[in-house]
Protein backbone atom coordinates (compact mmCIF):
# COMPACT_ATOMS: atom_id res chain seq x y z
CA UNK A 1 0.00 0.00 0.00
CA UNK A 2 1.50 3.41 -0.90
CA UNK A 3 2.41 5.84 1.87
CA UNK A 4 -0.10 8.38 0.49
CA UNK A 5 -3.00 6.23 1.72
CA UNK A 6 -6.09 4.89 0.02
CA UNK A 7 -8.97 6.52 -1.83
CA UNK A 8 -11.84 7.38 0.52
CA UNK A 9 -14.51 5.81 -1.70
CA UNK A 10 -12.50 2.57 -1.95
CA UNK A 11 -12.00 2.43 1.81
CA UNK A 12 -15.72 2.97 2.46
CA UNK A 13 -16.47 0.11 0.06
CA UNK A 14 -13.76 -2.23 1.39
CA UNK A 15 -14.94 -1.68 4.97
CA UNK A 16 -18.54 -2.42 3.94
CA UNK A 17 -19.86 0.94 5.16
CA UNK A 18 -21.59 1.26 1.78
CA UNK A 19 -22.64 -1.35 -0.79
CA UNK A 20 -21.00 0.16 -3.87
CA UNK A 21 -18.20 2.56 -4.72
CA UNK A 22 -20.71 4.63 -6.66
CA UNK A 23 -22.76 5.09 -3.51
CA UNK A 24 -19.60 5.98 -1.59
CA UNK A 25 -18.75 8.62 -4.19
CA UNK A 26 -22.28 10.06 -3.98
CA UNK A 27 -22.03 10.34 -0.20
CA UNK A 28 -18.72 12.17 -0.47
CA UNK A 29 -19.95 14.50 -3.22
CA UNK A 30 -23.16 15.14 -1.24
CA UNK A 31 -21.16 16.36 1.76
CA UNK A 32 -22.21 13.45 4.01
CA UNK A 33 -18.64 12.39 4.82
CA UNK A 34 -16.01 14.26 6.83
CA UNK A 35 -12.42 13.21 7.45
CA UNK A 36 -10.78 14.63 10.59
CA UNK A 37 -13.66 17.13 10.91
CA UNK A 38 -13.18 18.66 7.46
CA UNK A 39 -15.69 18.18 4.67
CA UNK A 40 -14.26 16.30 1.72
CA UNK A 41 -15.13 17.31 -1.84
CA UNK A 42 -13.62 14.42 -3.84
CA UNK A 43 -14.08 10.65 -3.55
CA UNK A 44 -10.37 10.24 -4.40
CA UNK A 45 -9.29 11.98 -1.16
CA UNK A 46 -6.55 9.86 0.43
CA UNK A 47 -7.20 8.44 3.91
CA UNK A 48 -4.63 6.95 6.27
CA UNK A 49 -4.63 4.77 9.35
CA UNK A 50 -5.68 6.88 12.33
CA UNK A 51 -7.97 9.23 10.40
CA UNK A 52 -11.43 9.77 11.90
CA UNK A 53 -14.39 9.60 9.53
CA UNK A 54 -17.73 11.15 10.43
CA UNK A 55 -20.55 9.98 8.18
CA UNK A 56 -24.25 10.70 7.96
CA UNK A 57 -25.76 7.29 7.15
CA UNK A 58 -29.49 6.52 7.16
CA UNK A 59 -30.27 9.61 9.22
CA UNK A 60 -27.72 8.79 11.96
CA UNK A 61 -24.23 10.14 12.57
CA UNK A 62 -21.55 7.45 12.53
CA UNK A 63 -17.99 8.11 13.79
CA UNK A 64 -15.25 5.67 12.72
CA UNK A 65 -11.47 5.61 13.21
CA UNK A 66 -9.51 3.91 10.43
CA UNK A 67 -7.53 1.00 11.87
CA UNK A 68 -6.29 -0.41 8.58
CA UNK A 69 -6.40 0.02 4.82
CA UNK A 70 -8.19 -2.64 2.81
CA UNK A 71 -6.71 -4.68 0.03
CA UNK A 72 -9.98 -6.20 -1.15
CA UNK A 73 -13.68 -6.26 -0.31
CA UNK A 74 -13.65 -9.39 1.79
CA UNK A 75 -16.07 -10.92 4.29
CA UNK A 76 -17.79 -8.79 6.94
CA UNK A 77 -15.52 -10.08 9.72
CA UNK A 78 -12.46 -8.93 7.75
CA UNK A 79 -14.10 -5.56 7.02
CA UNK A 80 -14.82 -4.89 10.71
CA UNK A 81 -11.08 -5.02 11.42
CA UNK A 82 -10.54 -1.97 9.20
CA UNK A 83 -12.21 0.47 11.62
CA UNK A 84 -13.10 1.17 15.24
CA UNK A 85 -16.61 2.49 15.91
CA UNK A 86 -16.38 5.67 18.00
CA UNK A 87 -20.07 6.57 17.73
CA UNK A 88 -21.36 7.76 21.13
CA UNK A 89 -23.82 5.26 22.70
CA UNK A 90 -26.61 7.85 22.76
CA UNK A 91 -26.43 8.16 18.96
CA UNK A 92 -25.68 4.52 18.16
CA UNK A 93 -29.37 3.57 17.83
CA UNK A 94 -30.76 6.94 16.75
CA UNK A 95 -31.48 5.95 13.14
CA UNK A 96 -32.91 2.54 13.93
CA UNK A 97 -36.47 1.39 14.38
CA UNK A 98 -37.86 0.89 17.89
CA UNK A 99 -37.22 -2.58 19.29
CA UNK A 100 -39.75 -5.15 18.09
CA UNK A 101 -41.16 -3.04 15.26
CA UNK A 102 -39.43 -4.09 12.07
CA UNK A 103 -40.33 -5.05 8.58
CA UNK A 104 -43.35 -7.33 8.56
CA UNK A 105 -44.22 -6.59 12.15
CA UNK A 106 -46.93 -4.23 13.33
CA UNK A 107 -48.66 -3.26 16.50
CA UNK A 108 -51.74 -5.37 17.36
CA UNK A 109 -54.92 -3.71 16.14
CA UNK A 110 -53.14 -1.43 13.70
CA UNK A 111 -54.07 -1.59 10.03
CA UNK A 112 -55.94 -4.40 8.32
CA UNK A 113 -56.47 -7.60 10.29
CA UNK A 114 -54.10 -10.46 9.63
CA UNK A 115 -55.37 -13.85 8.52
CA UNK A 116 -55.13 -15.09 12.11
CA UNK A 117 -57.03 -12.09 13.48
CA UNK A 118 -59.67 -12.51 10.76
CA UNK A 119 -60.23 -16.16 11.74
CA UNK A 120 -60.54 -15.20 15.41
CA UNK A 121 -63.05 -12.52 14.44
CA UNK A 122 -65.07 -15.01 12.33
CA UNK A 123 -65.14 -17.50 15.22
CA UNK A 124 -66.28 -14.78 17.57
CA UNK A 125 -69.08 -13.68 15.21
CA UNK A 126 -70.34 -17.28 14.73
CA UNK A 127 -70.80 -17.69 18.51
CA UNK A 128 -73.27 -14.82 18.71
* pTM confidence score: 0.68
pLDDT digits (tens, 9 = 90+) for 45-92: 999 999 999 999 888 899 999 999 999 999 999 999 999 999 888 755
Q: Is residue 114 domain-resident?
A: no
Name the DSSP letter for residue 2.
Answer: -
Alpha carbon 12 to its chain centroid, in Å, reads: 11
Q: What's the CATH number where 47 sits?
A: 3.10.290.10
Higher-scoring residue by pLDDT: 36, 102: 36
Task: Give the residue among 32, 41, 39, 37 at the shortest CA–CA distance from 95.
Answer: 32
73: left (phi over 0), alpha (psi -120 to 50) or beta: beta
| Least confident range of 8-17, 43-52, 110-119 | 110-119
Residue 6: alpha-carbon gap to chain centroid: 21
Return the pLDDT at 94.
Answer: 53
Beta bridge partners of 66: 83
Give the number of domains in the chain: 1
Whether 28 is covered by a domain: the verdict is yes
Which domain range does residue 63 map to? 6-95
Rg over alpha carbons for the chain, rounded to the nearest Å, is: 22
Q: What is the pLDDT of residue 77?
A: 92
| Residue 91 included in any domain | yes
The bridge status of strand 83-85 relative to strand 52-57 is: unpaired
* Residue 115: inside a domain: no
With respect to residue 113, please indicate whether it lies within any of the assigned structural domains: no
Residue 40 counted as domain residue: yes
| Residue 126 is assigned to a structural domain of this protein | no
In this structure, is residue 31 part of a structural domain?
Answer: yes
Phi-psi region of 76 (alpha: psi -120 to 50; beta: other; left: phi over 0): alpha
Amino acid sequence: MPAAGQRLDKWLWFSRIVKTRTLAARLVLGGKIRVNRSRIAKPAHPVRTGDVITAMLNGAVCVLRIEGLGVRRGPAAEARELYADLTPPSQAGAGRRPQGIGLGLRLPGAGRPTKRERRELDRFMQRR
